Amino acid sequence: MTRADAIHRAEECFDSGQFRQTLARRIAMPTESQNPERAGVLRQYLEAEIRPAFEAMGFACRILEHPKALAPFLYAERIESPELPTVLGYGHGDVIRGLDREWNEGLSPWTLTETQGRWYGRGIADNKGQHTVNMEAMRNVLAARGTLGFNAKYLIEMGEETGSAGLRELCTEHRELLRADLLIASDGPRLAPERPTVFLGSRGSVNFDLTIEARKGGHHSGNWGGLISNPGIQLAHAIATLVSPTGRILLPQWKPKELPPAVRRALADCEVDGGEDGPQIEAWWGEPGLSPAERVFGWCSFEVLAYKTGNPETPVNAIPPRAWARCQLRFVVGIDPADILPALRRHLDAHGFSMVKIASTRETMFNATRIDPEDPWVQWAVASIARTSGKKPAVLPNLGGSLPNDIFTDILGLRTVWVPHSYPGCSQHAPNEHLPPHLMREGLAMMAGLYWDLGAGGTPSMPGSTASSPCC
């Protein structure tokens, strides 16, 4: 068997309907990690669906748990020789709430449905479809060659949509078990629907609440207007000191000092495209002097996700006693995560807003990660994908969104190469989550080629430690 044979087998797996059947069975399992009533289904997904699939490929499997985790993990490994390179795969089988009633007529989050050239179902993009692509590609390489030609480890978690609680601690405790040369995984979207993409890390993310508690109860705006403070107005002004009217971040501690040359070179030919369903880019928004790709992949962004004061549903003529905003900072390498909220506190105090309370919304945050776009392993992966697809892949130093990638880079010391099989307009986390099926078919072919090349020899050498460090 040859590389072409392995790729053909993977494509035939899709064309025959076998891939669809497997994916439909997984989508039918309502693995909502945000719903406590689904705890049994989360475990069932691992035990009844994923474990048998790995064991059929000769993997040894075990369930891992941690007290901080809300759901179990599945660890699978196939060790062929200590002399071979070792790759760690990762995916998550949990999904956000189905939002059943909000899907278009004829669609259900728990039924794989094809209409208008798309496949619909909760998790098809995030992340059941993506890890199913990788697992099936690996299975077909194994069937074609008889061996993988490399050592494979895989970790599937069931709590990513609730913040990956326990993942950091579990990887710390099982660092030796998870030791590998690099991580190859799939999540997030491509840069554009028709362009294969590799990303090498992710932006960090911290969510926090800003609150002003002025007094108890509202007071008549006619009797007290002009005499007592309005927390809704105050909080709006406080936020206005953080970001300009055009979305430019104003805190120096929330922006990198520069866009590193390696990042700029990698993004030079990257054009952000959300597809026909994506929003139109507004060139005037965000950090001036940067391209759209540089703004979303090389810089930080601040968002107000929600804002409330008074009673928005039924406004009354009363000065509200309270104002609240849920805010988010997505940040890149070069930002000190430990200083994000302290810097905010200092800034607000300096601008006369000491009455604004700051509260983090989660125990931990995803830190920013990025490996060198010119790393030999990155160049190897890009060359493999280009050979299979006949297209020039986009290389993103990091995803615009956030993943627990810092666990893999900082705790496990891994190079991280992510190959997404989705696109920006997929409606993940929303009703009508979908993918064009040709993206998954192409993903199967690319991953089969990548896994074949991994086992064919000629991979970059791994002298000394496998630890990766940020390129900038």
Domains of the chain: 3-202+368-454 (3.40.630.10), 204-256+300-360 (3.30.70.360)
Per the omega criterion (within 30 degrees of 0), is the bond before 127 cis?
A: yes
**pLDDT tens digits along 53-93:** 999 999 999 999 999 999 999 999 999 999 999 999 999 99
Are the C-beta atoms of 91 and 415 separated by less than 8 Å?
A: no
Q: What is the mean pLDDT of residues 145-169?
A: 96
Q: Which of 97-111, 240-254, 271-285 has the lowest mean pLDDT?
A: 271-285
Residues 171, 2: Cα–Cα separation, whole Å:
36
For residue 438, count other CB atoms closer than 10 A to its CB: 12
In which band, very low, low, confident or very high, does the pLDDT at 466 lie, cut at 50, 70 and 90? Answer: very low
Name the one residue in this structure whose structure tokens are 């703004």: 295
Return phi, psi of residue 251, to 5°: -85, 120
In which band, very low, low, confident or very high, does the pLDDT at 461 lie, cut at 50, 70 and 90? Answer: confident
Would you call 336 helix, strand, or coil by DSSP? coil
Q: What is the mean pLDDT of residues 14-40?
A: 98
Are the C-beta atoms of 446 and 6 separated by less than 8 Å?
A: no
Residues 229, 361: Cα–Cα separation, whole Å:
27
**pLDDT tens digits along 196-244:** 999 999 999 999 999 999 999 999 999 999 999 999 999 999 999 999 9
Terminal-residue alpha carbon distance, the chain: 42
Q: What are the Cα distances from residue 88, in Å, to 167, 231, 336, 420, 449?
A: 15, 50, 28, 16, 17
Question: What pTM value is reported for the model?
Answer: 0.90
Predicted pLDDT of residue 274: 66
Q: What is the mean pLDDT of residues 374-386?
A: 96
**pLDDT tens digits along 250-280:** 999 999 999 999 999 999 999 987 667 778 8
